[in-house]
Every structure is written in C-alpha cells, then in structure tokens.
Chains A and B, each alone.
Chain A
C-alpha cells in the first residue's frame, strides 16, 4: 500500500508539469472530483488587484533611463562657471568716507536702497544699553522738514516699503521702491538719518511700547539666542541684549539718542547700498549732495572692537518653565570672526549638520546623519545648526526644539554628530554640504532686497564685495581634511555655552555636554 503510494508519487512528479501554469496557482487537483476547481486569478477583487500590482512592480525592475539621468545618490562636484557671471558691484568712496555701492539689474523695475552701518548694541555702554534699538524705533518719527509719520507716509505714497533692523554689530535702514522713485528714497533716508527730531511725547510713547514688548516675550527662538549670547559673552559687549534693560529704557532721552548718532553714525562706517533699477552715477551724485551733516570721525568699528574685545565664557543658562509644552535649547561653541578663512569651513560644517523640521521636504531621507537620527526616531520638533560671525569672534552650534521626554536622546545625537566632525568625515558628505551651501547662497540672493543687504553686509565685514566665483572657489577648497582640522580647532575638547528654556528637567547637565566634546577613541 505504502509502496504503491510512493510509486504513484514518483510517476506523478515525472509527468509533464501541466498543473503548474504561469500563475503557479492551481494546487494539485484531487483525483476524485474534477468539478470544483480553484477560481482563476480574475475571480476575486483582491486577486485582480494583486495581479495588476505584480505587473506594476515588474515595471520597476526596468526604470526608464530618462528618469535616471540627473538623479544619483552620489554627490558630485560640478563646475558652476556658466552661472557665475553676475553684474559687478560698483563701489565709490566719497570724500567724507561714505561708500556708495550699487548693483544694477537691467531687467528689474523696482529697487532697494538703504544704509547699512557698523553700529549696534555692541558699541553701547552698560548705562546706554538699548539706545541703538530705541533710536531705530524713533528715527522715522519725524524730521525738521517732514512732520511725524512724514517719512513713512511719503514712502507708502510712492508704493514702497520702509524697513529697518538693529543687530549686535550692524544697523540697517532700507526702502524698497519703484525704480523711478529711488532718488526720492535716498532723500528721505538722508533726511531721516541727519535731521531727525526726537520729540518728547514720541519718546515717551515709544518707551511704553518697548517696555510692553519686553514684558510680553520670553519663549521664542530669539530669546534662546539672546540668552545664549548673554551667557557666552558675559561681561563683554556682545553679551548685551539688543533691546536693552528696563531701567535703561526708562532713562533714555533726547541727548542719549543725539549723542549716539554723533558717535556711531559716522560716514566711514556707513555704506549706501542699492540694487535693482538703479544707476550708480545718479546715486553717487545724490549722496554727495545730501549726506553732508554726518560726522566723518574716522574711528573705525574695528578700533572700537579692539578697545573692548569680546570674551567667550563656557557657561550655561537654564530657565525652567513647566507650563509651556516644548523645550528649546541651543548649544554653541566659540567660532571665529568673519574675516578668518576658516569661517567658510564653518559654513560647510553647518550644512553638514543640516536643519530639519516636520515640514521639510526631505524628511527621513536627508543627507545629514544628525537629521536622520532626529527624524527617524522623532526626537525633536525642529533643529537647525547655526554659525554666526562677528568682528572678532563668533558662535557655531545647534538649536533644537523638542518635547520634554526626548531631551536626553536628542542631546546625545547632537553631541555625537558634532564631535564626529573631528574624527570621521566622508568625502561624499563634504561634497553634498558644499553643493548645498553654494546653492543656498545663490538662492538667497534672489531679489533686490537680499542683494542690497548682501552688498551692505559684505562691504562692512570684508571691505569689498566677494564675487561669487571667488566665493565658490573658497567653498570648493574645503575638503574632508580641512573639516577635520577646523573641527579640531573649534569643537574638540572646548568649552561650550548652553542656553535652554522650557520644561528642561531632563536636559543633561553641563559636565555631560562638556565630556562629549571629545571621544576616547580614534
């Protein structure tokens, strides 16, 4: 019986395989009943869908070559010389020291014109801290020729925008107007800077506004960075808050503001930058006529900086507040000044660490390992690496916003990736970061205002406008060994500054962070 069974089995396996069709579907039919057969693959809906899915997946095996032409997961070095022919920036220095720089774009009908100067909260003193910001608020509130709200109204009538910002080492006033109104805008700017009247009632009104703003804030990204600067550069001018302290704001007066203008709004420290539909000669003529009343005291900002240099102190400031949902913290090392050649390498390192938030298009597939760790494990709401440069120092680090329960994992990821830059750097990562940096620099200067801001900032920090070709060459000179050397200079076993606000009970302590600035392995 069993032998007959075995023999029939052997005979059946040698028969031509008619039972195995393309689909491999039919099970071995039972000998007895031939009437009930298994249904074909088109009978049920799930089988039909599975069959069509199978054919679609088959198509994936042979992708269309057209779609593979530009997409490759390996970053390559490509030459960019064909897009680097930008219109050049024309710079003229007037006899009183004022620099006028323009970059005209022939296809543009609007223009941005503004004054960028080397003045900011850094150059105040402890008693006058807050003057720069107060002045920026007060300066549009009326001049001798134009009553209160005059300057703003005039620009708005032309259809333009007036804007200003005060930073630690830089202040800017700029206006975006139509091309035909550029000279009028220059007139308004010159008037506002030289002939401003600071009336008492305007001052007291503005004082109230600023005090209310100071009391309202406390938990934004800007506050984290303010705290970071105040702890990293404690006892030094860069650590002062831009807005000033409440006591100072209550005592700032007309004389303070005028004194500040006299000392710091001097022509050698100013750049009149314009971009868009502007003609260089016209702007120079207008500037010669109008910017006459500013003092041309030739103390440069660098000399002021040398008198009071900034000093970095490894420290931390933590403000625990369990009533807000998210914890925000920033970890920073001391970096270098903007004129140091290593600042370009720091910019590449910033791109290597990357930035991410829940809306980023790349998601879990971005190149930076830190971003991969953060996004795959979901340990932060957003993170970004930053590198800022001042005249004699700078900051390089990572800022992150996270829920309170994943702070330990997040700190581990951040510190291990930052320290890894001193040990293991792959050439692929560096090329990818370089390409990202180049494209972000070019994409950023995509309008008249960013270009004017770029001109002003570069003339103040470097003394000249760096052409994109040179900038790209400097970026391309950064390779894996440069990154390791620069990371060893700034990150390896160095003190860091931490500032954190929110529900930060589980954020590791300073010694934990400081230990993880080096590894005991090679």
Chain B
C-alpha cells in the first residue's frame, strides 16, 4: 500500500507528480524560496524544535530567504532572471532533522512519558 503511494507520489515514476514538482519549482524560484522554507514553526512545534537544533548558518540563510521573498511580494516583483536560474528549491536541510525529532517524540510517547511540549490554542 505504502509503496503504491510512494510510486504515485514519486516524481521519477509518475508524470503527475513530476508536473506538480515542476510547478512548485517555478513558483518557488520566482520568489527565491526553498520548499523547506515553507514549513511553519508556529504550526507545528516539532518544526520549531528541529529549527532550534539546526546550525546557526542554515537558520540564518532560511530567514534571509524568507525576508527576501516577503520583500519581493510586498513590491509585487519577482526575483531577477539570473538569480532565478540559480535557485535550488528542493535542496533540503530540514527533513532529516524533522524526522529525527518526530522519531524521538514518538519514542517518548511509546515509553509512556509526558510529551516535552504541547500546543495550546489560546
């Protein structure tokens, strides 16, 4: 079942997924963002914990990319063409750390301990 889902979602195997990836690449390139920049630490506290663990340079680069994208969006502009060619939207820096954080939290819950953080909706 999961391998069927994987082959459905894999850009190498399915042209639908490849088209989706191409569209996303085009849009992310226009603003100079990476896919991992779209993960929101306020939405999921695991993302916040993963970002806390990443080295300073990576988080700084992410924040600068986000600031650049916010600035472009405010001015209703896109990134210059030469810079757009240099973008690498699917170079990941967060996925491994996020998987590790989720694995640790799952292990903690399996052992019957209280979670280290819980999202409270004010």
Hey, which bits of chain A sit against chain B, CB under 8 A?
A: 9-10, 13, 17, 20, 23-28, 30, 33, 36-39, 41, 44-47, 49-50, 53-54, 57-58, 60, 73, 364-365, 369, 372-373, 376, 426, 428
* Closest chain A CB from B62 CB (angstroms): 8
B54 touching A53, Cβ below 8 Å? yes
CA separation between A447 and B56, bound complex, in Å?
A: 48
CA separation between A35 and B58, bound complex, in Å?
A: 27
A38 touching B85, Cβ below 8 Å? yes
A25: chain B residues at CB < 8 Å are 88, 90-91
B74-106 contact mask (Cβ, 8 Å, vs A): 1 or 0: 000000001001111111110011001000000
CA separation between A57 and B103, bound complex, in Å?
A: 12
B25: chain A residues at CB < 8 Å are 27-28
Least CB separation from B29: chain A residue? A27
- Interface: B116 (CB within 8 A): yes
5 A-B pairs with CB atoms under 8 Å apart are A9-B19, A25-B88, A27-B87, A53-B54, A426-B112
B1-32 contact mask (Cβ, 8 Å, vs A): 1 or 0: 00000000001100100110010010001000
A53 touching B96, Cβ below 8 Å? yes
CA separation between A451 and B29, bound complex, in Å?
A: 73
CA separation between A372 and B82, bound complex, in Å?
A: 53
* Closest chain B CB from A12 CB (angstroms): 8
Most buried by B among A9, A13, A41: A13
Given A33-B85, A46-B93, A49-B57, check contact A369 B15 (CB 8 Å): no
Most buried by A among B88, B111, B115: B88
CA separation between A47 and B55, bound complex, in Å?
A: 11
- Interface: B121 (CB within 8 A): no
- Interface: B38 (CB within 8 A): no
A38 touching B88, Cβ below 8 Å? yes
Least CB separation from B55: chain A residue? A49
B15 touching A9, Cβ below 8 Å? yes
B58 touching A49, Cβ below 8 Å? yes
Given A25-B88, A28-B22, A373-B114, check contact A53 B55 (CB 8 Å): yes
A45 touching B57, Cβ below 8 Å? yes
Given A46-B57, A364-B116, check contact A20 B85 (CB 8 Å): no
CA separation between A28 and B112, bound complex, in Å?
A: 47
CA separation between A129 and B22, bound complex, in Å?
A: 88
A372: chain B residues at CB < 8 Å are 113-114
CA separation between A365 and B115, bound complex, in Å?
A: 10
CA separation between A33 and B82, bound complex, in Å?
A: 10
Least CB separation from A54: chain B residue? B96
CA separation between A489 and B46, bound complex, in Å?
A: 43
Additional A-B contacts beyond A30-B85, A36-B85 (10; CB < 8 A): A13-B18, A23-B91, A24-B91, A25-B90, A33-B85, A38-B85, A38-B86, A50-B58, A50-B93, A376-B117
Given A46-B93, A49-B55, check contact A38 B82 (CB 8 Å): no
* Closest chain B CB from A511 CB (angstroms): 28
A57 touching B100, Cβ below 8 Å? yes
Instruction: Pick the residue among A37, A41, A46 that contacts B58 (CB under 8 A).
Output: A46
B82: chain A residues at CB < 8 Å are 36
Instruction: Pick the residue among A27, A30, A57 that contacts B96 (CB under 8 A).
Output: A57
B111: chain A residues at CB < 8 Å are 73
CA separation between A116 and B55, bound complex, in Å?
A: 59
Most buried by A among B58, B85, B92: B85
Given A28-B25, A50-B58, A364-B116, check contact A39 B15 (CB 8 Å): no
CA separation between A89 and B107, bound complex, in Å?
A: 47
Least CB separation from B36: chain A residue? A50
* Closest chain A CB from B20 CB (angstroms): 12
B58 touching A10, Cβ below 8 Å? no
B11 touching A20, Cβ below 8 Å? yes
B12: chain A residues at CB < 8 Å are 17, 20
B117: chain A residues at CB < 8 Å are 376
B61 touching A46, Cβ below 8 Å? yes
A24: chain B residues at CB < 8 Å are 90-92
B97: chain A residues at CB < 8 Å are 53, 57
Least CB separation from B111: chain A residue? A73
B114 touching A369, Cβ below 8 Å? yes
B100 touching A60, Cβ below 8 Å? yes
B27-46 contact mask (Cβ, 8 Å, vs A): 1 or 0: 00100000000000000000
A47 touching B91, Cβ below 8 Å? yes
CA separation between A239 and B91, bound complex, in Å?
A: 71
* Closest chain B CB from A54 CB (angstroms): 6
Task: List 7 A-B pairs, minimum CB-CB distance, nearest first.
Answer: A36-B85, A46-B61, A50-B93, A13-B15, A57-B96, A46-B57, A372-B114
